[in-house]
């Protein structure tokens, strides 16, 4: 059925008892008939399920058990569902979920067109941070009275679909062509975008999606100036309207007179509830940047690796309020120095927070601040054109639905992007993998002879060096691909304490047996041999290392690696020849650059090949490890490329990029002077320490150490007794309880033990491995949230009334730790206290700081006996970090009464 421009459709939504259509049931069904874009008729009904409804579903939807008691069963409303739908096409948000439930009772539901507003909104409105129905309604001005109620959601989905039809008609014809091709002939929404050709081959009429960017390139030419001018004047080249006010990413050319006066920014940012006030942070960062910088400004001092040794360490939090002060300080320094300043972070969470802060500083993004990324983080136009040809020739038939959806979104986004950066587009599902295969690879050599070099996003970043502030990842700042003509006057590195963890995440991991299964038993035999050889080493608890200049890898293993590299190279080349027919290869002869084969096993082989090649060409400060302890952990033999001492890599990169380094950490005072950290960060001396304010002794935090529980080493007994205590404590506090666990496994175990008991009392238990919606439950009554220590930051959980630490977050010892330990001990440091314990203390300090930042009484409850002075040899250090205010050590029953008494005072004061 072809629907064209839909004048009539039925928007629908279901609420269910769970997410599995095989075992869960429909709880509520709603349908709204739209005619000419307006709701014309609607119907909804609760449905009485045969099973008990989970508490979190009742809480999410607002439906009560009393509401369901007199509701009809599903069989009684089935006729009404069939009658209302009739022959109309369907519309829903994430409709595949609802169709899976409806398909059990309406067997022909899959035969009619069903339009998914989640899928469509991602395609026609790329670049939003969230595509939840509530977020889309907020961005587009659609009324949504009660989210997660079927009728309101169905009505909002129908209105949203009408707006999406309008947006689909506005998509460039060239982008529409690609979208319809990649989504396939059976896609319900294909007729909203374009028209197929008369031959019915599936190839859609229209030019390449690159047309607005590169002009007519069918003959491999570079395009003309006329085409470029026309493209530059089109509105379609602008960023999509996201409604969120996110600034454009990329290197924004700025003139000195356009720089915002520092007092203008300071006036716009209101101080938040942090102990380190924004003005204090701004003054500290500004002073650190400017110290001794003016003397070298303009003359261009000689750059060397010593810049890292002379770094200044600033103690300041990473709250949004403090980040605003950091950005204001950087802008002010750039303005006065008439030079450039970089602000680098180590993780996506901090980068996102900086973007939000920057969006809240009106006018700053276009004048002085830019996001700067290496060319490898931008889409390659030559690769995209090759992909267009593959799609048009039906040569990418194995793509899964998520990949198709992401490519369709990219087709529309590509006609609008200014920088080609992934910051401008939401990554979902396999998006990161797809984008990685389409990003620039061989810069700058790939531009030589490329038909798209004049229109490539990468050279567009080669703007003249102008005064201003660049925001980036530390990884990109250190990249050799980053185009900077002269060093930055200063680089501010956020998250100094995270450098070691960040370096570990840079490891490349692969398993030899996976490659053997990938390429087949004949060609993969060499990888089976490698797997067996490593297995033999592990069975004898033999540690196999390659650390150039110190420990040589066994010759047979090194030989197997090199032979495997050659086998993979031949396999990749052969598969490339077999997969493309003659006609397609002839078409691609005109397209320079690497051919993307998305979604095929050849791509996986290429990644394995790259991993081996990197490991065989490591620098002396890297190591390849295969350790016997992997076996004891139940893991298969694994090889890793690791930065055992990552500071050397960072130090070398900073020596080229910066004249001055300012390191920022909320735990600077705790980290300064720790020889272990300084060795791993390649510092020859302790940096100068600057504090952006001082703490005041809080009078509204009570820390309770629960005595009398079993030792954590007795896992079963400890888990059972601590779970019982948490049930009683949460039952007493009921609102704003957060339980922190070191690992996801601990959270899962605790969830299983406490959820039934608490939910029987009407208290919802929410488990959250990461930040996001789960932590919003902290503000809801009768709710407790379980989370990992590493899954939050200060801004995420500061509203918690009661934080419970079930176990201290000691991690498993990793194979590379013994190498680091040797380095630290040779430097005269204590690896456990300088590195392991300091990291734990800094995390615990962050918990305390978050509680300090809020007004009103707060409670910190510690169940782990190792946190008390007598609990272990390091207990006094942990105890000190956790007791900035009032504290008490007492048995469980006394602890419960003490906590209730402490919090009840706050209640009484509010009542008065």
Cα–chain-centroid distance for residue 70?
44
Which residues on adjacent β-strands are paired with residue 33?
A: 10, 41
> For residues 718 and 715, what is the distance between their CA atoms, to the nearest angstrom?
5
Strands 90-92 and 38-46, bridge-based pairing: unpaired
Q: How far is CA 374 from CA 239, 417, 453, in A?
A: 20, 16, 16
Count Cβ atoms within 10 A of the Cβ of residue 456 and give its class: 0-12 exposed, 13-18 middle, 19 or more buried.
buried
> Taking the CB of residue 442, how many other CB atoms lie within 10 A of it?
15
CA separation for the pair 125, 385 (Å, rounded): 22
Q: What pLDDT is recorded for position 523?
A: 81
Structure confidence at residue 89 (pLDDT) = 92
Residue 763 CA to residue 59 CA, distance in Å, equals 10
Question: Based on the number of CB atoms within 10 Å of its own CB, is 612 exposed (0-12), middle (13-18) or buried (19 or more)?
Answer: buried
User: At 422, phi and psi to the nearest 5?
Assistant: -65, -15
pLDDT along the chain (912 residues), means of 10: 64 91 91 90 92 86 88 91 90 92 80 91 90 90 81 93 91 89 90 57 50 50 29 30 32 37 40 63 92 50 64 86 89 88 87 79 56 82 84 77 92 87 84 82 68 80 71 85 82 86 61 76 85 75 58 74 80 63 48 55 61 64 60 53 75 86 88 83 83 70 92 90 95 91 85 92 81 68 86 71 91 72 83 87 83 82 91 88 87 94 64 34
Give 845's Cβ-side CA count (13 Å radius).
21
Burial 663-679 (b: 16+ CB within 10 A, else e): bbbbbbebbbebbbbbb
Q: Tokens for 265? A: 């920014």
Known active-site residue 887: no
Which residue, 202, 172, 207, is CA-closest to 190? 202
pTM across the whole model: 0.79
Angle at the Cα of 886 from the Cα atoms of 885 and 887, rounded to 5 degrees: 115
Beta bridge partners of 470: 342, 370
DSSP assignment, residue 324? Answer: H
Inter-CA distances, 582 with 393, 589, 597, 599, 702, Å = 12, 11, 16, 21, 75
pLDDT reported for residue 586: 45
Tell me, what DSSP letter sits at residue 204? B
Predicted pLDDT of residue 266: 39
Cα separation of 274 and 797, whole Å? 13
For residue 234, the model assigns a pLDDT of 32
Using the Cα atoms of residue 546, residue 552, residue 556 and residue 561 in order, give the sign of their dihedral: positive
Give the closest residue to 890 by CA, choosing from 732, 726, 706, 711: 706
Helix axes 715-733, 744-759, angle to 10 degrees: 50
> What is the full DSSP assignment across 690-744?
EESS-PPPPSSEEEEEE-SSPPTTSHHHHHHHHHHHHHHHHHHH-SSEEEEESSH
Strands of the 508-510 sheet, one edge to the other:
508-510, 639-642, 623-626, 544-546
- Active-site residue, from 93, 148, 335, 455: 148
What is the per-residue pLDDT for 396? 73
User: Dihedral through CA 894, CA 899, CA 900, CA 902, nearest 10?
Assistant: 120
The residues facing 469 across adjacent strands are 341, 369
Tell me what pLDDT residue 622 has. Answer: 66
Q: What is the pLDDT of residue 824?
A: 85
Sheet holding 369-371, edge to edge: 369-371, 468-473, 340-345, 490-494, 661-665, 312-315, 688-691
Structure-block tokens of residue 582:
């003659």
Asked if 689 contacts 669 with a C-beta cutoff of 8 angstroms, the reply is yes
């Amino acid at each position: 059925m072809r629907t064209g421009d839909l004048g009539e459709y039925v928007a629908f939504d279901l609420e269910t008892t769970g997410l599995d259509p095989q075992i869960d049931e429909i709880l509520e069904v709603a349908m709204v008939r739209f005619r000419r874009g307006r709701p014309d008729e609607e119907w909804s009904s609760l449905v009485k399920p045969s099973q008990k409804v989970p508490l979190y579903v009742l809480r999410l939807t607002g439906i009560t058990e009393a509401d369901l008691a007199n509701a009809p069963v599903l069989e009684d409303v089935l006729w009404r569902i069939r009658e209302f739908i009739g022959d109309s096409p369907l519309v829903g948000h994430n409709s595949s979920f609802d169709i899976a439930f409806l398909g059990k009772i309406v067997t022909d539901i899959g035969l009619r067109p069903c339009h998914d507003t989640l899928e469509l909104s991602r395609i026609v409105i790329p670049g939003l941070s969230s595509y939840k129905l509530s977020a889309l309604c907020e961005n587009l001005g659609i009324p949504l009275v009660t989210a997660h109620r079927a009728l309101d959601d169905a009505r909002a989905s129908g209105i949203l679909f009408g707006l999406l039809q309008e947006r689909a008609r506005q998509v460039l014809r060239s982008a529409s062509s690609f979208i319809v091709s990649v989504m396939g002939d059976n896609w319900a929404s294909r007729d909203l975008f374009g028209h197929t050709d008369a031959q019915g081959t599936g190839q859609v009429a229209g030019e390449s999606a690159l047309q607005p960017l590169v002009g007519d390139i069918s003959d491999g030419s570079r395009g003309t100036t006329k085409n470029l001018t026309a493209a530059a004047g089109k509105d379609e080249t602008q960023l999509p309207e996201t409604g969120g006010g996110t600034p454009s990413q990329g290197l924004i050319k700025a003139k000195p007179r356009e720089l915002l006066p520092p007092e203008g920014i300071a006036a716009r940012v209101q101080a938040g509830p942090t102990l380190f006030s924004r003005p204090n942070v701004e003054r500290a960062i500004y002073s650190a940047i400017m110290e001794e910088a003016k003397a070298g400004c303009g003359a261009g001092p000689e750059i060397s690796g010593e810049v890292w040794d002379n770094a200044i360490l600033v103690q300041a939090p990473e709250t949004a309020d403090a980040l605003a002060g950091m950005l204001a300080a950087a802008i002010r320094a750039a303005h006065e120095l008439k030079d450039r300043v970089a602000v680098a972070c180590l993780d996506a969470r901090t980068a996102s927070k900086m973007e939000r802060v920057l969006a809240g500083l009106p006018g700053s993004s276009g004048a002085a601040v830019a996001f700067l990324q290496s060319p490898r983080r931008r889409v390659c136009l030559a690769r995209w054109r090759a992909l267009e040809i593959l799609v048009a020739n039906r040569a990418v038939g194995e793509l899964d639905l998520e990949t198709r959806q992401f490519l369709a979104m990219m087709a529309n986004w590509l006609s609008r992007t200014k920088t080609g950066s992934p910051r401008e587009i939401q990554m979902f599902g396999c998006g990161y993998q797809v984008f990685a295969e389409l990003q620039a690879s061989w810069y700058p050599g790939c531009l030589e002879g490329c038909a798209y070099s004049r229109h490539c996003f990468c050279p567009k970043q080669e703007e003249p060096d102008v005064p201003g502030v660049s925001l980036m990842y530390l990884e990109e700042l250190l990249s050799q691909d980053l185009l900077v003509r002269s060093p930055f006057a200063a680089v501010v590195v956020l998250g100094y304490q995270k450098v070691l963890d960040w370096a570990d995440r840079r490891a490349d991991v692969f398993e030899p047996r996976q490659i053997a299964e990938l390429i087949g038993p004949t060609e993969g035999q060499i990888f089976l041999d490698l797997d067996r050889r490593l297995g033999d080493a592990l069975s004898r608890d033999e540690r196999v290392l390659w650390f150039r200049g110190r420990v040589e890898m066994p010759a047979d293993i090194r030989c197997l690696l090199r032979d495997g590299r050659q086998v993979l190279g031949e396999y990749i080349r052969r598969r490339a020849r077999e997969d493309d027919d003659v006609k397609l290869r002839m078409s691609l002869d005109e397209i320079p650059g690497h051919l993307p084969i998305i979604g095929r096993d050849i791509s996986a082989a290429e990644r394995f090949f790259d991993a081996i090649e990197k490991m065989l060409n490591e620098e002396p400060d890297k190591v390849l490890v295969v350790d016997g302890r992997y076996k004891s952990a139940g893991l298969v033999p694994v090889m890793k490329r690791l930065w055992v001492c990552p500071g050397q890599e960072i130090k070398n990169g900073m020596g080229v990029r910066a004249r001055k380094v300012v390191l920022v950490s909320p735990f600077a005072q705790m980290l300064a002077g720790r020889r272990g950290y300084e060795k791993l960060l390649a510092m020859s001396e302790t940096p100068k320490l600057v504090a952006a304010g001082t703490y005041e002794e809080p009078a509204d935090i009570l820390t309770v150490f629960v005595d009398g529980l079993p030792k954590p080493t007795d896992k079963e007994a400890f888990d059972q007794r601590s779970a019982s205590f948490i049930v009683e404590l949460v039952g007493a506090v009921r609102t704003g309880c957060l339980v922190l666990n070191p690992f996801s496994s601990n959270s899962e175990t605790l969830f299983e033990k406490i959820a039934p008991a608490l939910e029987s009392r009407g208290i919802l238990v929410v488990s959250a491995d990461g930040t996001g919606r789960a932590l919003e439950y902290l503000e809801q009554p009768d709710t407790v949230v379980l989370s990992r220590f590493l899954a939050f930051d200060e801004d995420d959980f500061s509203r918690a009334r009661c934080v419970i630490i079930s176990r201290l977050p000691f991690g498993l010892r990793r194979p590379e730790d013994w190498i680091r330990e040797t380095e630290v001990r040779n430097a005269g440091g204590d690896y456990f206290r300088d590195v392991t314990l300091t990291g734990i203390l800094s995390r615990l300090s962050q918990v305390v700081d978050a509680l300090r930042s809020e007004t009103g009484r707060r409670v910190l409850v510690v169940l782990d006996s190792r946190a008390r002075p007598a609990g272990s040899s390091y207990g006094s250090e942990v105890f000190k970090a956790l007791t900035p205010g009032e504290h008490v050590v007492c048995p469980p029953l006394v602890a419960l009464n003490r906590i209730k008494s402490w919090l009840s005072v706050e209640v009484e004061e509010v009542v008065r």
